[in-house]
Amino acid sequence: MKVLVINAGSSSLKYQLLDTDSQAVLAKGLCERIGIDGKFTYKAPGKATVDAVDIAMPTHSEAIQAVLDALVDPANGVIASMKEIDAVGHRVVHGGETFASSVKIDSKVMAALEECIPLAPLHNPANITGIKACTAVMGPDVPQVAVFDTAFHQTMPPVAYTYALPYEYYEQDKVRRYGFHGTSHKYVTQRAADMLGKPIESLKLISCHLGNGSSIAAVAGAKSVDTSMGFTPLAGLPMGTRSGDLDAGILEYLMNKHGMDIKEMLNILNKKSGVQGVSGVSSDFRDLGSAAEQGNGRAALALGMFSYGVKKYIGAYAAAMGGVDAIIFTAGVGENDADQRMAIASGLEYMGVKMDPDANNVRGKEAIISAIDSKVKVLLIPTNEELMIALDTAALV
Ligand code: ADP
């Protein structure tokens, strides 16, 4: 089946056309600066790459049209006509408590997606715009599926998702831990079971998605039982520019001291904190590594805080599940940063984690990086959210 995977942002739209039988990426690219001056990229194996600026893209509909035009282009396209696209899979950030799995989109689902907007006011409207644009350009007969970042975590028990606030804030206002990166955690835990040759239902896994945004999930018997992100993706680990968890009392103290309103405060917590804020150098772990090597103490502190934070979650989630069979590293830092992986795993020997330094000297491909006699396996698994979205979409249509 050929599935077009769409990840729509407010002014951008990432796309991939995948063949779910061969799992091959037929073409992929990015529409950027939608509503501004339109930038379009397209890549397909063996075809000329398109990298165009000043493309008329006043709305997401023209962006989808540009994607379809490129896919059927006689010279560089990969399909003869739009009819070859069997279905469209959309990444949707927030499904609230309504969606515990992916869903085929109809008018009822669209109404429920609209209801989830208050939970993700920056992301869900863009995702909905992407769905409407596909309907407008491709017609109502091409099946579309929504795949949610939050859905995989809907299996968490109340003790893990409830905040210790007055209970009516949960009942009336839906304030609870939702968790994100669910598509990634689901994909890598399924791959881990394949790599270990064991049924996923029998495994206790800790999935570490460490990128610009980072989250950790405890997955027991194929179900997410806890995760580090919360009501929003600001919670949990320190990230590239996000603070992660902190004492809520700090907000009032800093806002009073510096005369900031809540918008300014949240801008600092989301965009100026994390390893960027601590180091003052960069949000990129490569820059931090070079700076630390040259003796920059704050860069070293930021890196140390990050690995310490991940290590604490691993300990906590092993306790939550009553053990762990494998720890998975994925996303930009998890897939590429051997030093971080080593720093995180060192000191966990007491719980049966023994790394193989040679095996750990690897980037961006599936590998077992623990020693042969390590009781707990440590796996590197590149994430593939687009493939997961395409497979869910194919299964539903
Ligand atoms: P996003 O959350 O935006 O999807 P990614 O998962 O792509 O992020 O991760 C991006 C981050 O991965 C970069 O900011 C950088 O910190 C890190 N990264 C990428 N390559 C390397 C590398 N070779 N070594 C260390 N860190 C890397």
In this structure, are residues 124 and 117 in contact, taking their beta carbons and an 8 Å threshold?
Answer: yes
Ligand 1 lining (C-beta closer than 6 Å): 211-213, 240, 283-286, 331-333, 336-337
How far is 94 from 104, CA to CA, in rounded Å?
15
pTM attached to this predicted model: 0.96
As beta bridge partners, residue 224 has 219
Q: How much distance in Å is there from the Cα of 369 to the middle of ligand 1?
A: 19
In this structure, are residues 70 and 144 in contact, taking their beta carbons and an 8 Å threshold?
Answer: no
The pLDDT of residue 122 is: 85
Positions annotated as catalytic residues are 149
In this structure, are residues 213 and 239 in contact, taking their beta carbons and an 8 Å threshold?
Answer: yes
Alpha carbon nearest to ligand 1 atom 7, residue: 332
H helices of 141-273, in order, are: 158-161, 168-171, 182-196, 249-258, 262-271
pLDDT confidence band for 15 (50 / 70 / 90)? very high
The pLDDT of residue 247 is: 97
- CA atoms in the 13 A half-sphere facing the CB of 287: 10
Q: How much distance in Å is there from the Cα of 337 to the middle of ligand 1?
A: 9
Q: Which of 286, 329, 340, 384 to mutate to test the pocket of ligand 1 (most atoms within 8 A of CB)?
A: 286
pLDDT confidence band for 375 (50 / 70 / 90)? very high
Pull the structure tokens for residue 105: 């989109």
Nearest ligand 1 atom to the CA of 287 is 16
Q: How much distance in Å is there from the Cα of 296 to the middle of ligand 1?
A: 20
Q: How much distance in Å is there from the Cα of 214 to the middle of ligand 1?
A: 10
Q: What is the pLDDT of residues 200-226, one digit of tens each?
A: 999 999 999 999 999 999 999 999 999
Q: Which of 216, 337, 386 to mutate to test the pocket of ligand 1 (most atoms within 8 A of CB)?
A: 337
84 C-beta neighbours (distance < 10 Å), count: 13
In this structure, are residues 351 and 318 in contact, taking their beta carbons and an 8 Å threshold?
Answer: yes
Q: How much distance in Å is there from the Cα of 210 to the middle of ligand 1?
A: 8
The pLDDT of residue 339 is: 97
Burial state string for 150-173 with b = 16 or more CB within 10 A and e = fewer than 16:
bbbbbbbeeebbeeeeeeeebeee
Q: What is the pLDDT of residues 79-117, one digit of tens each?
A: 999 999 999 999 999 999 999 999 999 999 999 999 999
Alpha carbon nearest to ligand 1 atom 3, residue: 212
Nearest ligand 1 atom to the CA of 213 is 2
Q: Which of 184, 285, 287 to mutate to test the pocket of ligand 1 (most atoms within 8 A of CB)?
A: 285
How far is 282 from 294, CA to CA, in rounded Å?
14
Pull the structure tokens for residue 164: 């210790």
